[in-house]
Amino acid sequence: MHTENNLQLTDGQKNRLIILICTILAFSVMNGTMFNVAIPDIAETFNLLPSEVSWVLTGYILIFAIGSLIYGKLADIYPIRTLITIGISLFSTGALIGFLSPNYGTLIIARILQALGGAAFPALSFLIPARFLPEQRGRVFGIVSSTVAFASGVGPILGGVIGSTFNWRFLFLFSVAAALAIPLFRKWLPLEEKREGTIDFLGAGLLAAMISSLLFFITSFLWYTALLFFIFSLLFIWRTMKAKHPFIEPEILKNMKYTTTVLTSFLGTFVLFGLIFIIPIMLRNLYGLSTLQIGLVLFPGAMAAGLIGQSGGRIIDSKGGALVVKVALILIGAGSLLISTFTGYAAWVIAPCLLISYLGFPLIQSATADLLSSVLPDEQNGVGIGLFNLLNFVAGAFSSAIFGSILDLNSAHIQFNPFAPAGDSILYSNLYIVLSLFAFLGLTVFTLMFTRNEQRQSTETPISYN
């Protein structure tokens, strides 16, 4: 459908597009990881409980999740250049409001605006290679994976330096600077015509309401939020079955390889976001580390992920995506188990344990994306990748909300890990055990369902003689 755009691009223009993708993703990723190390400072500024401050991340991720799928659908109708401009404008405006926010409510509004704009970044970064660089898609995904991992490494240390030198508000100024890239995006992205199409905004709204009510129930345990979740779930199912073009096409879920891969990615992302949320709070409460010191603990693992991300594409090409997914989940689970065991020891011991889990991050992201592109027909790639992004971000939102609520307890009386030291660290040690179990659950589900499906298909495929 878009091959005419591809034929008009020179090698220089293609390279500029790759730079665009990496630039917008770097801003998006660093915006998240910088705020991870600042969570304790924000909680102190507004006197918030862990479950309350979790909404700085959860609210952002929730809007980000729904928005990423909407932007993917909008890109089938409107030019990507227009969507990028709108996205960066909202992202930078939200950042400016966040910098000036006088209270917690204004801060949440700022983060929502940022999410409304930032949701364009991951959605369009997948679509740009597919639309304009189809013959280089594999290479671009490898570069993108490396960029995400590298930005994840730079984010904590940059957030720590800015937060400790000034304060957490100045982290927003970094995101305001994204607006400077709008002229370059408008110059480098090809012109496109507006196309026909519709979006089920009612279905999108019902899905957002369904997820929001569940998150509110997780953080508040109010009975009426559970009732709202049940009502919105029924309405969303009704809308999906009745709409001519529903927000999420149920047909795609009949592909078992796709469903298994998405579920596996959901569990892996749940664990990674849980680690990213719990670690800074633990390092502040248990070890009394400053924002900069928290960033230094996170830095080695994130940078190691950046290095392995550069070769992730080659590993997948030579060994296959399914094997790499299994290795990634083993790394994530093993790292979480080690953190559980050594929580309570010196803070520097946490860094190499976290590094092991971080190594799984770029591997599972790039491997699942590669698998999805191979198990879906071309006409379902856009919707499939959009739903994949949506569920990953929802996993992150659930993880932050659930563990934020648990951390409100402040202590635990039962110790899950017999090798971990007793004392104030028991609650954190228990949470890391739970995270490792989720990682190994993902490994089990993927191994049983995906591999079995592959074997069934190989036995059913007839042999052809040429």
In a domain, 117, yes or no: yes
Both 262 and 311 in one domain: the answer is yes
- Contact between 407 and 53 (Cβ < 8 Å): no
Using the 3D structure, point to which of 214, 229, 246 is the last residue of a domain.
246
In a domain, 460, yes or no: no
- Residue 464: per-residue pLDDT: 42
CATH number of the domain enclosing 152 = 1.20.1250.20
In a domain, 121, yes or no: yes
In a domain, 463, yes or no: no
In a domain, 461, yes or no: no
Both 72 and 89 in one domain: the answer is yes
- Residue 465: per-residue pLDDT: 37
In a domain, 164, yes or no: yes
- Contact between 274 and 328 (Cβ < 8 Å): no
273 vs 183: CA distance, rounded Å: 33
- Residue 310: per-residue pLDDT: 62
Both 232 and 278 in one domain: the answer is no
Among 108, 434, 426, 162, residue whose Cα is nearest residue 275: 434
53 vs 401: CA distance, rounded Å: 9
Both 69 and 146 in one domain: the answer is yes
- Total domains in the chain come to 2
In a domain, 175, yes or no: yes
Both 380 and 285 in one domain: the answer is yes
Query: Nearest 5°: CA angle at 204, between 200 and 209?
Result: 150
3-state secondary structure (DSSP) of residue 345: strand
Both 259 and 394 in one domain: the answer is yes
54 vs 405: CA distance, rounded Å: 9
- For the chain, residues with pLDDT lower than 70 are 1-9, 32, 130, 134-139, 141-142, 145-146, 149, 152-153, 197, 219, 309-310, 312-313, 378-383, 451-466
Both 60 and 94 in one domain: the answer is yes
- Contact between 286 and 36 (Cβ < 8 Å): no
- Residue 456: per-residue pLDDT: 60
Using the 3D structure, point to which of 211, 246, 281 is the last residue of a domain.
246
Both 229 and 316 in one domain: the answer is no
Both 125 and 241 in one domain: the answer is no
Both 152 and 15 in one domain: the answer is yes
In a domain, 419, yes or no: yes
Using the 3D structure, point to which of 213, 246, 279 is the last residue of a domain.
246
Query: Nearest 5°: CA angle at 247, between 239 and 271?
Result: 110
3-state secondary structure (DSSP) of residue 343: strand
Both 219 and 293 in one domain: the answer is no
- Contact between 206 and 53 (Cβ < 8 Å): no
Both 288 and 276 in one domain: the answer is yes
List the alpha helices (DSSP H) in 411-462: 426-460
Domain extent, residue 13, equals 3-199+247-453
